[in-house]
Structures are given as structure tokens and as C-alpha cells.
Structure 1
Amino acid sequence: MSKKNIWLIVFLAFAGVILLSIKPIMDHRSQRLNELKQAASMMVVNEVPNETVISSIAEKNDIKEDLDENAEEKVDEGSKKENTSTEEADIKMVGLGDSLTKGSGDSTGKGYIGRLSTNIEQDTGSSVSVQNYAVHGRRTPKLYKILFEDDVEKSVSEADVILMSIGGNDLMKVVKEHFLDLQMADFQREQSDYVDRLDKIMKRIRSLNSDAPIIFIGLYNPLLESFQSITEIDQIVQRWNGINQSTVEKDENTTFVPVYELFNSVDENLFFEDQFHPNDDGYELMARQIQYHLNQDDIIDDIQVE
């Protein structure tokens, strides 16, 4: 065998070893890319409830498109209906924000805020009214805007407790725009603007009602159940929670209620069939978590005393 042929065999063997070592890496990258594409697809799909979700949690005929180009959301006009007469209620609750406060995924339509009001009524004997202005897909620009609407102004100004979830759709907008190359820098660029918007929301609420406790609900990772290997999103959600907490708790009468660990550590399935929103058990667990914080700070007792 010639020397040239020997070197050719050595080269081919060496190339084969390299290819075999790279293959698992390429397979992993390919699998990861597919997972990211699926995750992005899930986020796009869940930007608006599908027919199954709508029929089980909302009045399907009340869904209409909101053409506000700053909001890019779907509005359920039914979310503005009064659930209970506010005039005679001992405790007036107002809900603001996105699908988490709206209750998307709850077969009863109550969500955490409806379940919380029921639990408080049963535990204290007080009557509770709920006016819920939360909307599926809402982000901070539109939440700030509706705080200048007459009915929202009135409800917020008369509220005894204000419950709010916002920021998840702001966060997921960044994720969807950069889902193939998630970088912390993308979120850091958005972070400053987001904090400014959230700060404006808090100040606007306080201009309408300086006394009512504000209960701000933290974020969970909506992709945890289906895409556990995408650790970047998990890290980003936790960082976003830190941003939310440090911003809203600048107000001394605001309580940040974390729910991340509820969905991260509980073995039972707490997600609706869309694998994005909580199911009935998830919302009940959230309601109990919020009630625990209300009791810790004697918020309900203080309202009843007044």
C-alpha cells in the first residue's frame, strides 16, 4: 500500500471520528430548534383563545377584535360586566390586566379572582363584589390606556382591593420576536421601557385610589409543561418577576404574590388543555396563595374594620 493511500485512510478515519462526535451535538441543536419553533407556535396560537377555550371559559359571542395598533390584543366585552352589585357589598374587588386575571382556562369562568371572592365570603361571612376589566392578550400600553375610561376610573376609585396581573404578554412579545436566538440583551433593552410603563400604571391607579391595597400577581413559565429543556425562558421569567416585584413594591401598599413555584414544583397538572393557561386546580391554588398573603398582611380584616 502506497504512502498516499495510508494517509488517505488515516484522514478518512479521523474525519469519521469527528463526524460521529459532532452528530449528537447536531441532533441536539436540531431537536432544540424544533422545540423553539413549537414553543413560538404555541405562543402565537395562544395569543387569542381557540374555539375550545372560548366556549369553555367565556361568552363566545362577546369576543371581538380590538384594532388598537398599540395593544394588539383581543377584547372580550363581557369582561367589563359587573359580577355582583357593588353598592351593597362589604368588599369591592377590581381586577385589571391580562388573561391570568380574566381567568382564561378556568371551566367555571371564575379564575383566581372569582374563586378568591367566594373563599373570602365563605371564610369571613362578608359579601364581595367583583368588577373584572382584565382581557386576554393585554399588555401594559393598553392597560394604562383603559385607566382613563370612565367606568374603569369609577370602579378603581371605589375599590377596596385591586388585583392585577400584567407583563406576561409584554415578555412573550419579546420571546416571539427572538425565539430562535433568545438573548438576555433583548430583554434588557425592553426592560427599561417596560418598567417605565408599569410605573406609570401604578401612579395612575394611585391617582384614582390612594388607599386600596394593590395585589400584583407574579408570572409563571407557561412553557414549562411542554418545553422543560428551554431553560432560557425559565431564567427570563424569573428575572421578569424580579423586575415586577421591585417596581410595584415601591408603593408601600402593594403586595407582590409569587406564583412561579406553584407551577414549577407541584406534581399535579395545573395547566388547561391549551398547555398555556392554568386549569381549575391551578386557579384554585392561585386563589389560596393570594388569600394567604391577604391574611398575612391583615388586608381583609382592615377592610372589614373600616
Structure 2
Amino acid sequence: MRKIIKIAVLLGLIGALGGGGYWLLHQDARQPQIAQPQKKQPQRTEVKQLKIVALGDSLTQGVGDTTPEHGYPGRIAKAVNHQTKIPTTALNLGKEGDRSDQILQRLKTSVEQQTAVKNANVIVLTVGGNDLLKVLQGAIVGHSEAQVSKTVAKTVPEYEHSLGQLLSAIRTYNPHAALFLFGNYNPLYVYFPKFNAINTSVANYNEVNATMIKKYDGYYVPTFNQLTYGQYQDGQARQNLIVQANEVGTNFLAALSSARLQTDEKNNFLSPIDHFHPNAKGYDVMTKALLQKMLLHDSWKYTK
């Protein structure tokens, strides 16, 4: 009998504890929840004035542009100001013919350039075209496409090293500015669409630009398709060019000299003056590509 009583008491205690647990759970659910403090988002302040510094070669200098804008720097300043309403200036430090090592040398020996780079919110760079051109001038004479491509490929590590030194110097003077690097294009494609070695060579050097700029916390701005193919953007249009093109063989320089004697330019985005640099429409293309990339990565709009 006593055993039965003990069991009954034990069951009663378990039931009481269970009911108490149920009551406690529901009581806890009824209690008002204490709001967790929200982390305040840091408030960002827009810069009062935006300073763009453009370094590089003839594509920065604006060779081929017959308008007062003189290339993309003046255009991008106006475009950014229009988009953001932030007063914007652009300093053009481009020089025709400069290779990566020469751009670096000018920067290292010019206090004015160093000061400009240090004070910049945005730094834009065109480089690599003249490095590649120097190689092609020696490789293209009397050689097959395969030989030209092989010769250029061997120079990629050297260009990578040279570009790395330039980007490192820029970051030494200014670790925080937004940094944008243009890719290059093939200005001769519309005349020699069968000569694929130039496209391949430009693509190799552009790959260096795209890879290296990431290592220095910057952004790559491609323009290859629009400026290389001009108005021949679809496959059929380019196929028609290939069908109409003459064989170049190993007499590339002679064919090039003949092409440059023409008064008209076959690529609507390049200058008829030298059949090499962008015209006003070409620089509009560069500006649009740069603006899109800048608006996508817009840390430059805010104070550090």
C-alpha cells in the first residue's frame, strides 16, 4: 500500500513540475521582448570637390581628338559633375609615345605630378599600347602570325613587372584614391581582319592590365570590342570584312603603309589623321565606359 502511495506522490510531483514548466514557458512567451540595440551605420559625407588625375600615354593626352575636350579627361570631369553635381576637375598628364617605364619615370621625377597624385580622389591610367607596339615593330617584319604571337607572349612577364612598378609607385603616393586602368584595342583590325596575331597580342597585354589592377585595389575598364571592331560589331559584318580583305603574309609593314595613305578611316571610332588613335566618338566611348565603372565603384564620392 505504501508503495502505491509513493508512486502516486511521485507521479503527482512529475505532473506538477511538468505543468509548472508549461506555465513558465508560456509566461516567458508573454513577456515583452527587449529590443537589441541597432548598430549605427557610419554616415558618409560626400566630397565637396572631386579631383581626377589622368596619367598615361597618347590615349590620355587625347591624340586624335579634334574637339576642345582633348580626349577623355575633360569629358569625364563633365560627365561626373553632371551625374553627381559634385564640382569636378581633371588634370591631364598624358604624353604621346610613353611606355609604362616612361610614365613611371615622369612621375618619379616630377614633384608637380607627385603632388597631384597625392591629392587626387580618382586616378585614371592608360598604359601598355606603346609597350606592345615596341615589341610588334620588331616582331612583325618577315614573321608568321604564330611567330609574332610567340614573340609577344615572351614579353608578357617583362610588361607585367614594369606595370607593377608603376602601379606600386602610384599607390605609394596615394594609397586611397579610386584607381581605374583602361585596356587597349587593335586599331588595325578593320584593315587586316585576317591578321589575328595583333588581336591575340593586345588580348595578352590586356589580361595583364586586368589582373594587375586588381592587386592594387583598382578597376579595369575594357574598350577592346567597341574600338577594335568599330561599327562592325556583329559576326556577319566582321565576316564580310574578312572576305573582302587581302592576304597580308609577311609584308605587313608595306600593307600598313599603304593603309595609312588612305584619307578615309574605315573604323568610325578612330581618327582618319593617323588611323590609330580614337576620334571624338572613340573618346566618347572611353568616357562612357569609365563613367559606368566609376558609378559602379563610387567610394571616390565620399571623404575618407
Q: Is the pair's TM-score, using the shorter chain for normalization, greater than 0.5?
A: yes
Say which of 111, 121, 126 aligns to 1:160: 121
Say which of 176, 188, 191 aligns to 1:223: 188
Tell me, which stretches of 5 or more residues in structure 1 are unaligned? Answer: 1-87
Say which of 183, 188, 193 aligns to 2:148: 183
Which residue of 2 is the match for residue 92 of structure 1? 51
- State the 1:228 CA deviation: 1.7
SS in 1 for 2:292: helix
Q: 2:53·2:124 contact (CA, 8 Å) conserved in 1?
A: yes
- State the 1:231 CA deviation: 1.1
- Counting only pairs closer than 5 Å after superposition, residues 231-250 of structure 1 correspond to structure 2 as 231-250=196-215
Which residue of 2 is the match for residue 295 of structure 1? 295
CA displacement 1:201-244 (0-9 Å, x = unmatched): 11111110000011100001111132222111011111111111
Q: 2:76·2:291 contact (CA, 8 Å) conserved in 1?
A: yes
Which residue of 1 is the match for residue 133 of structure 2? 172
Structure 1 residues 230 and 304: alpha-carbon distance in aligned structure 2, compared to 1, 3 A threshold: same
Q: 1:139·1:170 contact (CA, 8 Å) conserved in 2?
A: yes
Q: 2:153·2:201 contact (CA, 8 Å) conserved in 1?
A: no
Q: 2:52·2:123 contact (CA, 8 Å) conserved in 1?
A: yes
SS in 1 for 2:209: helix
* Matches of 1:153 and 1:112, distance apart in 2: 21
Aligned residues: 216
CA displacement 1:33-83 (0-9 Å, x = unmatched): xxxxxxxxxxxxxxxxxxxxxxxxxxxxxxxxxxxxxxxxxxxxxxxxxxx
Q: 2:187·2:228 contact (CA, 8 Å) conserved in 1?
A: no
Comparing 176-185 with 271-280, which one deviates more in the overlay? 176-185
* Matches of 1:228 and 1:265, distance apart in 2: 9
Identity across matched positions, percent:
28
Which residue of 1 is the match for residue 227 of structure 2? 263
* Matches of 2:117 and 2:83, distance apart in 1: 25
Tell me, which stretches of 5 or more residues in structure 2 are unaligned? Answer: 1-46, 232-266
- State the 1:183 CA deviation: 2.4
* Matches of 1:221 and 1:107, distance apart in 2: 21
Q: 1:95·1:101 contact (CA, 8 Å) conserved in 2?
A: yes
- Counting only pairs closer than 5 Å after superposition, residues 1-306 of structure 1 correspond to structure 2 as 90-108=49-67, 109-148=69-108, 149-180=110-141, 181=143, 182-252=147-217, 254-267=218-231, 269-273=268-272, 274-299=274-299, 302-304=300-302
TM-score (norm 2): 0.68
Q: 1:89·1:129 contact (CA, 8 Å) conserved in 2?
A: no
SS in 2 for 1:249: helix
CA displacement 1:273-303 (0-9 Å, x = unmatched): 121011101111110111011111124xx42
CA RMSD of aligned residues (A): 1.7
* Matches of 2:71 and 2:50, distance apart in 1: 18
SS in 2 for 1:113: helix
TM-score (norm 1): 0.67
Letter of the structure 2 residue corresponding to residue 132 of structure 1: N
* Matches of 2:190 and 2:59, distance apart in 1: 17
- State the 1:188 CA deviation: 2.6
Moved >6 Å (runs of 4+): none
* Matches of 2:297 and 2:52, distance apart in 1: 17
* Matches of 1:289 and 1:165, distance apart in 2: 13
* Matches of 2:227 and 2:156, distance apart in 1: 24
